[in-house]
Amino acid sequence: MELALSAREPYNYFLLLRALFRSIGGGSHDLLYQEFLPLLPSLLQGLNGLQSGLHKQHMKDLFVELCLTVPVRLSSLLPYLPMLMDPLVSALNGSQTLISQVRAYQQLQQASTPEQ
């Protein structure tokens, strides 16, 4: 993210980050999930800050998507749920792609919640 923030064209860096998140997010990369876990607080804070900053809409949508696709287990995200509220609301008010991200997030949440 540091390189993206100092680059003349940061969009490409964030697209690369999105591709990385998507490729890891398949569920079978436990070692990589563990690598992202210590980065999670600063990553979510940074992406939330970028999302609420002065950027074009396509950049804001990308920041929201990155927040919602951080490659960590859902159980690891629970302590950071308050930090995900703004991206979730933005996604629900956003494009169809973002809405589908929220639906995928809901399915993950339902799958990880034990039945009572």
Tell me the pLDDT tens digit for each residue of 45-103: 998 888 887 888 888 888 888 888 888 887 888 888 888 888 888 887 877 776 676 66
Say if residue 116's pLDDT is above 50: no
Output the pTM of the full model: 0.76
Distance CA 15, CA 106 (A): 24
What does the pLDDT average to over 4-18?
A: 85
Report the pLDDT value the prediction gives residue 92, as an integer from 0 to 100: 79
Segments forming the whole domain that contains residue 63? 2-112
Q: Which residue has the higher pLDDT, 5 or 108?
A: 5
Q: How many domains does the chain have?
A: 1
DSSP structure class, residue 7: S
Residue closest to 67 by CA, chosen among 35, 105, 12: 105
